[in-house]
Amino acid sequence: MTKRLLCGLWLGLTWMLVGPARAADKPAATPPPILSAAEKEGKVVVYSTTDSAAAAPLLKDFGALHPKITVEYNDMNSTELYNRFVSETAAGGGSGDLLWSSAMDLQIKLANDGYAQEYKSAEAGSLPDWASWKNEAFGTTFEPITFVYNKRLLKPEEVPQSHAELVKLLKGNPERFKGKVTCYDPERSGIGFMLLAQDAGTDPNFADTIKTYGKVAVKLYTSTGAMLEKILSGEHLIGFNMIGSYAIGKQRKDPNLGVVYPKDYTLVMSRIAVLPKAAKHPNAGKVFLDYLLSARGQEIIANKAALFSIRGDVQGEYTASALNKALGSSLKPIPVSASLLVYLDQSKRLAFLKQWQEALGTR
């Protein structure tokens, strides 16, 4: 009895000493020579698709940790990021030192085309296996792909909990849902294409699913913002393939937005970081990458930016571990791998789009 008590006391004490100090307070494991070289460089140029407002807490914390390295943060959309980077690299005048983009396929393409620099980050060991590729491309977030609906206009019992239920709901009320369902346009949005292609590989009834979307005349957009806005206003009722982090950011401001993690499968996307070979501040880029992957950076990604941390050892609502606990094996992370390149092949891509358009009846 006393032994157990003592044991418990000891455990409690250790937790108090070690627990709060946990992973989060440990600085990123960047080798000292790289760190001092980075401080000499004094600057890191980040090209990112994460908007400045969401990234602000990360940048602030990085600044506190590395006061000698200023971050020049450029936010832009993923196409602009790609265009700027390849053009600037071709001109040889220097470009970003770290590219951080949600267009997973374009990031892998950059690495595959030889633009990326290899870096064995000590922090990468804490990533799941599927989340890095050849030490050249690193997943940094764990963002679920969700359904989003209008709570005022959709009754709780109607809310579909899986892709199959969504199809059933639409088939049951084609008139009511006509023009009321929304998703990314795979033709105009790279991320929309990628998500749909993942659906095709995961949903056993994909052909029937997209035909159903066609029957209710699904409305196609290029930006999450426009879709969330129109779901909230009641112009549309429900959207699928919505990036969870954006939806939750919006939900915090407007509780009328409902977010569903589909039970049959929830795709997970990850913002990929790449260090370009032609970086002007290569060491500072490495320090920033290590920081993004470190427990401290991930803690902020999870709890301040609501982008969902990818490391298993970070706790909180918006973390991979919380999602794993809640959803288990229905989580389907999109692997950071060469498989993303398949649909950058022109003929395969056009064939897939043709299938989509035929199902929708727009061609």
Partner 1 sequence: MRGLRLYRVLVVLITASAVLLPLGIVLYQSVLDAPFFQPSAKLSTSAFSFVFSDPDFHRAFATTALVAVGMTLIAVPLGSILAFLLIRTDLPGRRVLEPVVLIPIFLSPVVLAFGYVVAAGPVGFFTLWFKEAFGLAPWNVYSLASLIVIAGLTHIPYVFLYTSSALRALGADLEEAARVAGAGAARVAFSVSLPMVRPAILYSAVLVFFLGFELFGLPLILGDPGGLLVLSTYLYKLTNRLGVPSYQLMAVVAVAIIAIAFPLVYLQRRLIGASARFVTVGGKGLSPRPLRLSGWRWPALALVLVWLAATVLLPLSGVFLRAFVSSWGEGIRLAQVITLENFRELFDYPNLVRGILNTLGIATFGGALAVAWYALIGLANHRWQSGWSRVLDYLVMVPRGMPGLVAGLAFLWVFLFVRPLSPLRSTLFSVWLAYSVVWLAYGMRLISSALLQVSPDLEEAGLTVGASRGQVLRQVTIPLIRFGLIGSWLLVFMIFVREYSTGVYLLGPGTEVVGSLIVSLWATGAIDIVAALAVVNVLLVAAGMGFALRLGVRLHG
Cβ neighbours of residue 227 closer than 8 Å, sequence gap 6 or more: 148, 182, 183, 184, 221, 236, 239, 242
For residue 235, the minimal CB distance to partner 1 (Å) is: 5
Least separation, in Å, of the C-beta of 297 and partner 1?
18
Q: What's the token pair of residue 314?
A: 């970070």
Q: Which is nearer to partner 1, 30 or 150 (CB)?
A: 150
Min CB(115)–partner 1 separation in Å:
12
CB 53 within 8 A of CB 306: no
Of the candidates 139, 345, 119, the one whose C-alpha atom is nearest the C-alpha of residue 353 is 345
Which CB, 35 or 248, lies closer to partner 1? 248
Specify the residue, 250 or 286, whose C-beta has the smaller distance to partner 1.
250
Comparing CB distances to partner 1, the nearer of 243 and 289 is: 243
- Closest separation between CB of residue 70 and partner 1, Å? 10
In the complex, minimum distance from the CB of residue 344 to partner 1, in angstroms, rounded to a whole number: 4
CB of 130 to partner 1, least distance (A): 21
CA-based R_g, the chain, Å: 22
> What is the nearest approach in angstroms of partner 1 to the Cβ of residue 54?
8
Nearer to partner 1, 57 or 316 (CB): 57
**Rounded CA gap, 131 and 197, in Å?**
19
User: At which residue do the structure tokens 């639409």 appear?
Assistant: 170
Q: Toward partner 1, which CB reaches closer, 124 or 259?
A: 259
Q: How far is the CB of 186 from partner 1 (least distance, A)?
A: 9
Q: Please say which residue, 21 or 56, places its beta carbon nearer to partner 1.
A: 56
Which residues form the interface with partner 1 (CB under 8 A)?
A: 49, 51-54, 56, 72-77, 79-80, 82-84, 86-88, 90-91, 93, 105-106, 109, 152-153, 179, 182, 187-190, 193, 219-226, 228-230, 232-235, 246, 249-250, 253-254, 256, 343-344, 346, 349-350, 353, 362-363
Shortest CB 78 distance to partner 1, Å: 9
CB-based contacts of 356, cutoff 8 Å, min separation 6: 186, 196, 210
Residue 162 beta carbon to partner 1: minimum distance, rounded to whole angstroms: 25
As given in the structure block, the two tokens for residue 137 are 């491309």
Identity of the residue, 48 or 298, whose beta carbon is nearer to partner 1 in the bound complex: 48
User: Which residue number, 207 or 342, has a Cβ lying nearer to partner 1?
Assistant: 342
Closer CB to partner 1, 85 or 261, in the complex: 85
